[in-house]
Structure 1
Amino acid sequence: MSKQTFETTFAGRPLVVEIGQVAKQANGAAVIRYGESTVLSAAVMSKKMSTGDFFPLQVNYEEKCMPQENSLVVSTNVKVVQQLMQH
């Protein structure tokens, strides 16, 4: 997938969403910039179905401060179960 960029202004600051360039091993990823803040969000799922309940969802949260900007890295791992796929 090639890089796609979406830009707008929200509350007087630029809001930029970029997809297709980072976290290529993830099933989906986006870099979101709002003013001086940056968030990388990536989601992955298993290729094989697992049995059991929809929970637990797993969220790995790391807060990192870069020298010139604040960065927040959030990685979400979601296991998709048969009940969800049937709906």
Structure 2
Amino acid sequence: TFAVIERMHTDGDAYVAELATIGYLEGIQNMVGHAGVDPAVFVPYLGPESARWWRGLDRFWAGEHPTVEPNDEQPGSPAV
């Protein structure tokens, strides 16, 4: 569940957090995206830390950042 992914981000070491991001969140984005489902439908189920990494994945795959890093910007907020 998404609560487990959140706990992996908040309570796990760096390897566990990487698994949560690259293994699970990125996997969800890729799987549903290829199935024609908008990955954004999952955002309401994410915890705060998972949402930061989800946005980081979005930035990485959009070519806006060279690595996957947590992103604190909220969707629709003005760029700084």
What TM-score comes out, normalization by structure 1 length? 0.22
User: Which structure's residues are more often helix, by fraction?
Assistant: 2
Larger RCO, structure (CA 8 Å, separation 6 or more): 2
User: Which structure's residues are more often strand, by fraction?
Assistant: 1
The structure whose Rg is larger is 1
